[in-house]
Amino acid sequence: MVFGVVVNPMMLVAGGVVVFALIVFQLLVGLRKIHFKGKAHLLIHKRGAWVLLAVAGIHGFLGFVYAVGLRIG
């Protein structure tokens, strides 16, 4: 439970799907299958990496909270 919200397996599945989609996006941008004009390309790739890191971190944290049965807040 995090601030009164119980983490359920569906939230973790949804989070996993989002992380997977972000990895696919990041790969496609990196491989230039999806491309943006000029400097925007590397900028989006760099920001995408930070978003991916943040979302994966939250997903991992919630997975840990669920698995261990932690209660925060």
Binding site for ligand HEM (CB under 6 A): 23, 26-27, 30-31, 42, 45-46, 49, 52
The CB-of-59 to ligand HEM minimum distance in angstroms stands at 14
**Structure-token pair, residue 14:** 């949804």
Residue closer to ligand HEM by CB (options 45, 55) is: 45
Compare residues 35 and 46 and give the one whose CB is closer to ligand HEM. 46
The two counts, helices (H) then strands (E), for the chain are 2, 0
DSSP reduced 3-state for 72: strand
Structure-token pair, residue 39? 């400097």
Shortest Cβ contact with ligand HEM: which residue?
30
E-strand spans in 1-73? none
